[in-house]
Amino acid sequence: MDRRRPALLAAVPLTAVLSTRVPLWRDVRVLKWVLQLVVVGLVVALVIWLYGNYVENTAEQNIPTDFGFLDNPANFQITGNELGANQPVRDALYQGLLNTLRISVAGIVAATILGTLVGIARLSSNWIVSKLATVYVEAVRNIPLALFVIAGLLVVVLGVFPTIQEAWNLAGLAIISNRGVAVPWFVGAGFGLLAIGAVAAVTAWLAARWRSSVSDRTGVPPRSGLWASGAFLVVFVIGWVAFGYEWTLPELDGRQTVGGIRIDPSFFALFFALVIYTASHIAEIVRGSIQAVPRGQGEAADAVALSGFQRMWYVILPQAFRIGIPPIGNQHLNLIKNSSLGAAIGYYDLTLVAQTTVGNGSPAVPVFALTMVLYICISLVTSLIVNYANRRSALVER
C-alpha cells in the first residue's frame, strides 16, 4: 500500500490540489442553475411545441384562435334563465356561470348541514342512529357521483315522480311532478330582496356583537343567537312590507304550474346528488374532527351540567370545526368542481354552456380555456374564504 501512494499523488496535478476553486462541473451553485435551466428549457420547449402545433392545426382548418366568438349569437336558449334567442355567447356564458354559482352555494350549504348531522349521528350513543349513519356513509362514499347524478334524473325524477296530471301536492306548498318541483317564491325576487336580506344579516350580526359585549360587561347570558335571529326577522319583515313584496303559492293549471317557482328536474337531481355525495365525505371529516377534540372537553361540559345539545353546540363543535375547516373547505371546492357533472343531465351550468357553444361552432380551445379560467377563479375565491375562516378560527398561540 505504502509503495503506491506516491504514484497516486503524482497523478494529481499539484495546482489542482492547491487550488481552492471547485471545477465548474462539480460546483453546486453552477449545477443548480444548469438543472433549473434544463427543466425550464424543457417546459418552454414543450409549450412552444404544443402552441406551434395548435397554431398550425387551427390555421389549417380555418379555426379562429381569438375571443371574437364571444360576440357571436349563442343560438340556444336556457329554460328558466333570461337568455333570449339572439343574445351573444358572452351572455350565455354569464348565465352558465350564475347557474354554477347557484347550484354551488345551495349545495354547499345543504351538504355542510347534512354532513355535520350525519357525522354527529355516527358518534351517537343511539345504536340505530349510529348504524344508519355508518351505512349511509359507507354506501355513498364508494359509489361514483356520476351514478347518483344520472340516477337522480332518470330514476327518481323521471321514474318515481308522477306525471303533471297526477302531480303530488304537498299541502299547496310544493307540487311535485316529473316536470320539476314547484315551490312558493317571492314576486319580483331579485337584487332588491337580496339587499334587504343583506341589511338584515348585518343587523343580526351587530345585534349578536352587542349582546356578547353586554354579556361580557354584566355577566347576563348573551343569547346572541336568539337576538340575532330576532333582529334579522324584524328587519326583513319591515323591508318586506315597506317595499311591498309578496309571495305566490304554486298552483296546478292544466298541464303546467303557475305561481311560485319551478325547480328544473335537472337542478333538482343535481342538487340532491351533490348534497348526498358530498355530505357523506363531510360526515367523515366531522366525525374525525369531533374525535380529535380532547375527551376532557366533553367531560368538562358534562361536569358543569350542560345539556347534550349545549355540550355539542358550545363545547365540542366549535373546537371540531377548528380542526375540520381546511378539509371541509376542500370538499366545498370539490362540490363546485363536481357541479360540472350537471352537463351530463342537461343542467345549463358553465360546462354545459361551454359544451353547447362549442357544438354551435365556437372554437373549442378558447371556449374551454375561458371556462377553466372561470372555474379556477371560483376555486381561488372559495379557497381564500376558507383560508380566512381557518385563520379566524385558528387557536391563537403565543
Residue among 54 and 314 whose Cβ is closer to other proteins: 54
- In whole angstroms, the minimum distance from the beta carbon of 7 to other proteins comes to 27
Residue among 164 and 234 whose Cβ is closer to other proteins: 164
Q: Which residues contact 102 (CB under 8 A, 6 or more apart)?
A: none
Residue among 181 and 333 whose Cβ is closer to other proteins: 333
- In whole angstroms, the minimum distance from the beta carbon of 182 to other proteins comes to 24
Strands (E), the chain: 168-170, 174-177, 180-183, 185-186, 247-248, 251-253, 256-258, 261-263
Residue among 96 and 250 whose Cβ is closer to other proteins: 96
**SS3 readout for 294-353:** CHHHHHHHHHCCCCHHHHHHHHHHHHHHHHHHHHHHHHHHHHHHHHHHHHHHCCCCHHHH
- In whole angstroms, the minimum distance from the beta carbon of 173 to other proteins comes to 22
Q: How far apart are CA 168 and CA 155, in angstroms?
A: 17
H or E, element range at 375 = helix 364-393
State the residues that interact with other proteins by CB under 8 A: 32, 35-37, 39-40, 43, 50, 53-54, 57-58, 125-129, 131-132, 138-139, 141-147, 150-151, 154-155, 159, 337-338, 340-341, 343-344, 351, 354-355, 358, 364-365, 368, 371-372, 375-376, 379-380
Q: How far apart are CA 288 and CA 293, in angstroms?
A: 9
Q: Is the dihedral of CA 142, 145, 150, 151 positive or negative?
A: positive
Q: Is the dihedral of CA 220, 224, 226, 228 positive or negative?
A: positive
Residue among 63 and 249 whose Cβ is closer to other proteins: 63
Using a 10 angstrom Cβ sphere, with 0-12 exposed, 13-18 middle and 19 or more buried, the burial of residue 106 is middle
Residue among 65 and 248 whose Cβ is closer to other proteins: 65
Q: How far apart are CA 335 and CA 382, in angstroms?
A: 11
- In whole angstroms, the minimum distance from the beta carbon of 232 to other proteins comes to 28
- In whole angstroms, the minimum distance from the beta carbon of 111 to other proteins comes to 16
Q: How far is CA 21 from CA 16, 33, 296, in A?
A: 8, 18, 62
Residue among 131 and 209 whose Cβ is closer to other proteins: 131
- In whole angstroms, the minimum distance from the beta carbon of 131 to other proteins comes to 8
- In whole angstroms, the minimum distance from the beta carbon of 92 to other proteins comes to 16
